[in-house]
């Protein structure tokens, strides 16, 4: 099964969100890429609503 293969293979991580997770892996010498990501519209609920409506 793919899940078992995943756990048995070498781990390489892409982290989105809090950089703390990436930093914790990096100090354990696990390859990790931190994605430069922020919530849409900086998390502003009104703007997110408008963006959603304009994409429908």
Closest to another protein by CB, 24 or 51: 51
Cα 11 to chain center, whole Å? Answer: 15
CB of 49 to another protein, least distance (A): 7
**DSSP strands (E only) in 1-56:** 13-16, 32-35
Least separation in angstroms between residue 38's CB and another protein is 5
* Rounded Cα gap, residues 14 and 34, in angstroms: 6
Residue list 1-56, contact with another protein (CB under 8 A): 38, 40-42, 44, 47, 49-51, 53-56
């Amino acid at each position: 099964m793919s899940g078992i293969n995943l756990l048995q293979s070498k781990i390489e991580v892409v982290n989105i969100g809090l950089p703390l997770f990436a930093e914790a892996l990096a100090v354990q010498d696990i390859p990790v890429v931190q994605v430069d990501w922020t919530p849409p519209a900086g998390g502003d609920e009104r703007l997110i609503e408008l963006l959603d409506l304009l994409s429908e």
